Amino acid sequence: MRLGLCFDGFYSIQEMAELARLADQAGMESIWMSDHLCFRDCLTSSMAFLGATKRISVVPAPLSPYSRHPIISAMAIATLEEFAPGRVMATAGTGNAAALEEAGMKVTRPLKTMREYVHILRAFLSGETVNFHGEVFTVNGAKMGFHPASPIRIYMTAVKPKMLRLSGEIGDGVLFSAGCAPKYIARCVEEVSKGAARGGKARRETDVAAFITTAVSHDPKEAIEASKTFLAYVFRNKHHAENIRMGGGKVDQESLAAAITKRDWEGAKKLISDEVVFAHSITGTPRECRMRLDEFAHHGLDLPILLPMGTQEARRRVVDLVREL
């Protein structure tokens, strides 16, 4: 089974670099560094991980058109690739709408914006002189002074149907948000397949990956508590309503959003039930987590990407689980 490891940026760069080295030694395929506003930066962190490892691929995720112009993203990706040839991929996505709005950036016309963004990003990374006059972006003859020697795979983040279809159509891969229940993942894969067909591609030509919140402990209660904070952070976003419904649980998203805005993490955790944790994550004892991983994979994922929760010791246990597999 192909497996990746994801960092949310909520803990120190030193802790993440240690886990990156362990993941490299364990034979994991890739490291994905989330770009959560107000936390550790995905691009500078990715460079640190490349420097700390020998063979594993590193992917900043996602690069948002609302916070980074495509030329800025292209410069960063090309620099990472120059430092570690063959070990870098890119992910483009709108980003967390709630977090962007808190920072004064608004997500508008996401489908058109993402289509233009990916087109321009590919052109820059291919070394083209870019003249582009779209509805969202304008580029007047800019060209990278250096570019990767080989094509960079670009994944697209998506949760809702139209963006899933766009990702299948124009992306090299699609990345689902952490917190997606297996049944919702299966529905998402169907939409990606429709988009791939629209783009004249077979479904297998679009790699399907997903972040999966993961907490491993011989004490199930410890594992459950470790997963609740991050799921609370994710589920404040309204676009997860259908995902939550298909997971079989209920979440008061309005109250959750209010608690996160106030940084009331304990209050937010109380709004996430144990049942919601089990439905939307890999959480429990090592044996339970192995069984749960199989369930996620059997719902259409090509690449499960484990997002380790809890203390650093608990996060190491996630890598240990992979090593045993």
Within this chain, do residues 111 and 183 fall inside the same structural domain, yes or no? Answer: no
- List Cα–Cα distances, 240 to 23, 124, 171, in angstroms: 29, 33, 22
Within this chain, do residues 42 and 172 fall inside the same structural domain, yes or no? Answer: no
Give pTM, 2 decimals. Answer: 0.93
Tally of structural domains, the chain: 2
**Domain boundaries, position 38:** 1-6+31-154
Within this chain, do residues 207 and 317 fall inside the same structural domain, yes or no? Answer: yes
Q: Name the CA radius of gyration of the chain, rounded.
A: 19
What secondary structure does DSSP assign to 138-187, as a single string? EEEEE--SS--SSPPPEEEE--SHHHHHHHHHH-SEEEEPTT--HHHHHH
Quote the CA–CA distance of 37 and 207 in Å, as a whole number: 26
Within this chain, do residues 148 and 176 fall inside the same structural domain, yes or no? Answer: no
Give the per-residue pLDDT at 97: 81
Give the per-residue pLDDT at 238: 85
pLDDT in tens, 21-43: 999 999 999 999 999 899 999 99
| Nearest of 49, 51, 59, 62 to residue 23 by alpha carbon | 49
The 3-state DSSP class for residue 4 equals strand
What is the H or E stretch that residue 319 is in?
helix 312-324
Give the per-residue pLDDT at 239: 84
Within this chain, do residues 74 and 150 fall inside the same structural domain, yes or no? Answer: yes
Asked whether residue 321 is assigned to any structural domain, the reply reads yes
pLDDT in tens, 166-184: 999 999 999 998 999 999 9
The 3-state DSSP class for residue 132 equals strand
Give the per-residue pLDDT at 98: 76
Place of tokens 């609302």: 66
Quote the CA–CA distance of 240 and 97 in Å, as a whole number: 12
Asked whether residue 16 is assigned to any structural domain, the reply reads no
Asked whether residue 250 is assigned to any structural domain, the reply reads yes
Q: Which of 129, 154, 179 is the last residue of a domain?
A: 154
Asked whether residue 13 is assigned to any structural domain, the reply reads no
Contact between 115 and 170 (Cβ < 8 Å): yes
Place of tokens 């209660």: 221
Whether residue 148 is preceded by a cis peptide bond, meaning omega within 30 degrees of 0, is no
Asked whether residue 293 is assigned to any structural domain, the reply reads yes
What is the DSSP code (8-state) at residue 135?
S
What is the DSSP code (8-state) at residue 205?
G
Give the per-residue pLDDT at 202: 92
Asked whether residue 12 is assigned to any structural domain, the reply reads no
Within this chain, do residues 249 and 272 fall inside the same structural domain, yes or no? Answer: yes
Low-confidence ranges of the chain (pLDDT < 70): none
Within this chain, do residues 149 and 162 fall inside the same structural domain, yes or no? Answer: no
Paired with 92 in beta bridges are 63, 156
- List Cα–Cα distances, 223 to 16, 131, 211, in angstroms: 19, 51, 17
The 3-state DSSP class for residue 98 equals helix
Give the per-residue pLDDT at 90: 98
Quote the CA–CA distance of 213 and 317 in Å, as a whole number: 13
Beta-strand runs (E) in 4-161: 4-7, 30-34, 57-61, 90-92, 130-133, 138-142, 154-157
Contact between 301 and 185 (Cβ < 8 Å): yes
Within this chain, do residues 165 and 223 fall inside the same structural domain, yes or no? Answer: yes
Within this chain, do residues 95 and 221 fall inside the same structural domain, yes or no? Answer: no
Asked whether residue 201 is assigned to any structural domain, the reply reads yes
Asked whether residue 22 is assigned to any structural domain, the reply reads no
Within this chain, do residues 231 and 247 fall inside the same structural domain, yes or no? Answer: yes
Within this chain, do residues 280 and 310 fall inside the same structural domain, yes or no? Answer: yes
Contact between 193 and 204 (Cβ < 8 Å): no
Within this chain, do residues 75 and 209 fall inside the same structural domain, yes or no? Answer: no
Q: Which of 137, 154, 171 is the last residue of a domain?
A: 154
CATH value at residue 313: 3.20.20.30
Place of tokens 């059997």: 298
Q: Which of 131, 154, 177 is the last residue of a domain?
A: 154
